[in-house]
């Protein structure tokens, strides 16, 4: 129960930050979306950090808020204390990829962040082969898989917007692989390995 409350608290903080930025953007004379990510420009480098915080309008923000709330909660559920490191990696990694390969327009929104978490949760579930992670992976694939396919292959938000979905999704897959590859072995697995090594030495 405590972990659920902590997850709700931090997800709420993230969403509150999204909404505060949008409210400020709608009040101040300056257009904060100018601080979004413009690929292959020096000024656009700041967008690697700011892009997920900025939204073009409340419709985009509302749609992203719902998906981010669900995906962040699932990420915290399966990763616990490592969730925020993974989220940071997807946040910055997808921004770097979009800066390198995105179209020339200024990018705003948490689309890539959401796509990254989708990719991470799906691959992580099957790499770890635990019942919880597999169930989460299946649920994410069923309920969010259409978002990725429509975004990448139908270009619902513009002819070049598929790169945003693809960048986030690929970075999420990469983060899942790296997390699995370099995660410490469970004590039981280490003990089993040591026992097998001792048997091999004894047989020699």
Q: Residue 146 CB: number of other CB atoms within 10 A? A: 11
Residue 53 near residue 125, CB atoms below 8 Å: no
* pLDDT value of residue 154: 58
Cα 198 to Cα 90: distance, rounded to the nearest angstrom: 41
Closest CA to 147 of 165, 128, 129, 170: 165
- The residue count of the chain comes to 204
Structure tokens at 106: 């200024």
The span from the CA of 132 to the CA of 79, in Å, is: 11
Per-residue model confidence (pLDDT) at position 171: 98
Alpha-carbon span 55 to 6, nearest angstrom: 26
Structural domains in the chain? 2-203 (1.20.1540.10)
pTM of the predicted structure, to 2 decimals: 0.85
Looking from the CA of 154 toward its CB, the CA atoms found within 13 Å total 7
pLDDT one digit per residue (tens) for the chain, 204 residues = 677 787 788 899 999 999 999 999 999 999 999 999 999 999 999 999 999 999 999 999 999 999 999 999 999 989 887 898 999 999 999 999 999 998 888 999 999 999 999 999 999 999 988 899 999 999 999 999 888 877 776 555 555 678 899 999 999 999 999 999 987 654 444 444 445 455 555 555
* Paired tokens of 104: 């020339």
Q: For 109-186, where are the alpha helices, taking DSSP H only? A: 111-128, 131-153, 162-182
């Amino acid at each position: 129960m405590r972990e659920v409350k902590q997850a709700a608290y931090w997800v709420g903080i993230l969403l509150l930050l999204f909404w505060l930025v949008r409210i400020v953007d709608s009040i101040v004379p300056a257009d904060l979306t100018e601080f979004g990510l413009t690929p292959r420009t020096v000024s656009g480098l700041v967008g690697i950090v700011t892009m997920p915080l900025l939204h073009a309008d409340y419709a985009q923000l509302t749609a992203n808020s719902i998906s981010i709330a669900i995906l962040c909660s699932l990420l915290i559920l399966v990763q616990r204390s490592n969730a925020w490191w993974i989220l940071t990696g997807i946040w910055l990694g997808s921004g770097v990829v979009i800066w390198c390969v995105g179209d020339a327009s200024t990018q705003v929104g948490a689309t890539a962040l959401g796509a990254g978490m989708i990719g991470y949760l799906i691959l992580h579930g099957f790499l770890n082969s635990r019942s919880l992670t597999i169930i989460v992976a299946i649920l994410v694939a069923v309920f969010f898989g259409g978002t990725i396919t429509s975004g990448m292959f139908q270009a619902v938000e513009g002819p070049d917007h598929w790169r945003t979905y693809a960048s986030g999704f690929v970075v999420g897959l990469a983060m899942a692989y790296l997390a699995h590859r370099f995660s410490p072995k469970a004590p039981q697995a280490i003990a089993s390995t040591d026992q097998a090594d001792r048997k091999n030495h004894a047989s020699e």
